[in-house]
Structure 1
Amino acid sequence: MILKHMEFLFVLQYFIPLITPEVAVEKELKNFQCSLYSSKAMNCSWLPANQTADDLQLYYWYPGESHKTACSDYKPRASEKIGCRLRGDFLEHDVYFLFNGTLNGLSVQKTFRVCPVHYVKPPAPRVKITEEGKDLLLSWDPPDLAAHHCWVYILNYSMCRESLSKEIQYKYDNVAVYVPYDLRCQYRVQVKAVYKKSCGAGGSDWSDVELYGVEDLNFDWLMTVFAILIPAAVGLFILLCLCCFMKHREKLFPKIPQPSLILKDMLNSNKEQKSFVGNLYVPAVEEMECKISLEKDSTLLLMQPDP
């Protein structure tokens, strides 16, 4: 019995150094995750527990390599390390990670294996909106990660309170989409890049909302004002035209006699002309008496010269 008890203590003493680091590292950090945001860059983060080793270090290496590279760019929070920015060729290889440190005098170690292509998370696209003719050109640059055929883009935009969504796959350096442009509407555009399952997994966050065009509320207010003012102005113009017409209608549209009256007047005038020609007026001959008397002019006698 004593021999069996001693064997149990021997076995327990043998396994304590192997179990203790595992328990210690679980208490030291949790929720370890990585995201590949570029073809040559990856971010890894974790949440520290209540007790954290002061000399905690993160190492990484590729399968088949013996050399381990230490993280040189930690993300701090207060006095704790909560992440690491890594540089390397992560798109084609899996990556091993090793946490190493000392907690309460005990050496703690934990190893992780990550396949970066299943944790792709590039920065959100930046949408540009330009007006071209009767359309709007929506464009953005594809992520700097993997081939263009590995990306699918979800485009959400709204116009005049109508929401639309499109799934777009583009194989060129710049993604461009044309949508009809309505001057009455304000456009709100968002884009998200999704990594295809045939290439891996992951995707970006939604981009910031880009606005273009007049605001819908202002447009509704202007339309209401126009709907009131334009009919009122047209009605006032018509009323003024009617008043002007009534005042000057005799000048603008003189009275035209009826054709029957014109014909009747012509017939009457012809009859009067015939009767006047048949009874011509012959004036009576008046007799006038003229008396002529001759008198001598004394002035002529005085003006005669002497013989």
Structure 2
Amino acid sequence: AGRPIWGMTLQVLISGEVLSKSLIGTETQPPVTNLSVSVENLCTIIWTWNPPEGASPNCSLSYFSHFGNKQDKKIAPETHRSKEVPLNERICLQVGSQCSTNESEKPSILVEKCISPPEGDPESAVTELQCIWHNLSYMKCSWLPGNNTSPDTNYTLYYWHSSLGKILQCENIYSEGQRIGCSFNLKDSSLEQGSVQIMVKDNAGKIRPSFNVVPLSSYVKPDPPDIKNLSFKNDGLYVEWKNPENFESKCLLYQLEINNSHTICYKDTCFKVKEIKCQSSEFYFTSKDRICFMVPSILPDTLNTVRIRARTSKFCYEDNNLWSNWSRAMSIGKKTNSTLYITVLLIIPVIIAVAIIALLLYLKRLKIIIFPPIPDPGKIFKEMFGDQNDDTLHWKKYDIYEKQTKEETDSVVLIENLNQTAP
């Protein structure tokens, strides 16, 4: 049995704790002995026990075992059992002996052995620990810091899988916003049915370690496909692309997007492409990693932009709905004249403005015709009486002023004449 890497002492319940008793007379088998538990690698728990003492010689012993939640029941002749599980919670195994593999037969007294999670404050452990296997080439694990942790905590990630002879440490620690992560190479075809055991802790040993077991049949994210060719024929658009490396066509589902609006799907939300051969002379590739698909009712009179993405199918992996990124976009068709397009965009607002002004002027004139202004009677009487009196006074003042001016002028002239006649 290997020693846990976090250097803690396992907390195990006392062996031989009786949980239940079945009364089936003198033929009841005695309980198993020396039940013990240990941890190997990072997340592999192993229980071992010895056959019961004083068992009937005519009994072909089998052992009935299940975990504390009464799940994963098993009846087998082996005197050991293992489970690959994250060690974040308390895990218990109950074992009893019986004389057959018949599940209906009641076993002996059940003996339980438990393993507790590692020591430390549960609030200090990292949260949302998740790992994704990218393109069957490398794995990226990321997490959020625990609540009771210092911002300058230095984290370390350890990993193990069946192809490794020992536990390795991940070196490529990085940060993405609030999340912290690490990536490591993982490219081995023999691993697709196995799992990777993960543990995250700090270098100082102040936080509680956190564990994860990642099945390699799930959490697989392929790279985006690579579009190789586009062609029009028979009122349809032929799209050819190359599969992402390390994947076969039968293991992928595809989603095709045209002009950011039309999504073509087939089965399970998206179409599953088989080995379709394009009916076009422009496609010369026959390699098994190249796929061709015809999208109907796409005409070449407009510019069409195509991109594609993929995810794993349930025929090869568990359906986890992890889509790849979109591929680079490729366009085909007639490109719209940008000069004409800009001119139209400039002319349309001017036409609209002129039309609005003309409409406003027309509406104002139409309002005057339909609803002419009502005369003010007070103004009419004022013009008839008040304005005429004012004009009469004005003319009277003007006559008086004119007469005064003439009299003064005459007197001056008279004086000048007298002076001229004197001797």
TM category (shorter chain) comes to 0.5 to 0.7
Pairing of 1:126-165 with structure 2 (within 5 A):
126-131=226-231, 136-158=237-259, 163=262, 165=264
Q: Write the distance in 1 (CA, Å) between the matches of 2:176 and 2:253.
A: 35
Q: How far does residue 112 in structure 1 lie from its aligned partner after superposition?
A: 1.1
TM-aligned CA distance change 1:86 to 1:27, over 3 Å: farther
Q: CA RMSD in A?
A: 3.9
Which amino acid in 2 is paired with 1:206?
A: W
Which amino acid in 2 is paired with 1:125?
A: P
- Residues 225-266 of structure 1: CA deviation (Å, up to 9, x unaligned): xxxxxxxxxxxxxxxxxxxxxxxxxxxxxxxxxxxxxxxxxx
Q: Write the distance in 2 (CA, Å) between the matches of 1:64 and 1:178.
A: 42
Q: Percent identity?
A: 20
User: Retained in 2: the 8 A contact 1:22–1:110?
Assistant: no
TM-aligned CA distance change 1:35 to 1:164, over 3 Å: closer
Q: Write the distance in 2 (CA, Å) between the matches of 1:175 and 1:219.
A: 38
Which amino acid in 1 is paired with 2:334?
A: V
Match of 2:405 in 1: none
Q: 2:145 aligns with which of 48, 62, 71?
A: 48
Q: How far does residue 94 in structure 1 lie from its aligned partner after superposition?
A: 0.6
> Which structure ranks higher in relative contact order (CA pairs < 8 Å, sequence separation ≥ 6)?
1
Q: Write the distance in 2 (CA, Å) between the matches of 1:136 and 1:120.
A: 30
Q: 1:113 aligns with which of 203, 213, 217?
A: 213
Q: How far does residue 119 in structure 1 lie from its aligned partner after superposition?
A: 0.3
Secondary structure in 2 matching 1:36? strand
Q: Write the distance in 1 (CA, Å) between the matches of 2:244 and 2:229.
A: 18
Match of 1:14 in 2: none
Q: How far does residue 210 in structure 1 lie from its aligned partner after superposition?
A: 3.0
Secondary structure in 2 matching 1:51? coil
Match of 1:38 in 2: 135
Match of 1:174 in 2: 290
Secondary structure in 1 matching 2:314? coil
Q: Which runs of 5+ in 1 are unaligned?
A: 1-10, 12-17, 225-307
- Residues 159-192 of structure 1: CA deviation (Å, up to 9, x unaligned): xx98351424135211122446623111121212
Q: 2:224 aligns with which of 124, 127, 137?
A: 124
Q: Write the distance in 2 (CA, Å) between the matches of 1:129 and 1:186.
A: 15
Q: Which runs of 5+ in 2 are unaligned?
A: 1-10, 12-115, 266-270, 276-287, 345-423
Q: Write the distance in 2 (CA, Å) between the matches of 1:153 and 1:19.
A: 42
Count of aligned residue pairs for this structure pair = 203
Which amino acid in 1 is paired with 2:310?
A: A
User: Retained in 1: the 8 A contact 2:124–2:207?
Assistant: no
Match of 1:213 in 2: 333
Residue 181 of structure 2 corresponds to residue 82 of structure 1: yes
Q: Is the helix fraction higher in 1 or 2? A: 1
Whichever of the two has the greater Rg, that structure is: 1
Which amino acid in 2 is paired with 1:113?
A: V
Q: How far does residue 76 in structure 1 lie from its aligned partner after superposition?
A: 4.1
User: Retained in 1: the 8 A contact 2:197–2:213?
Assistant: yes
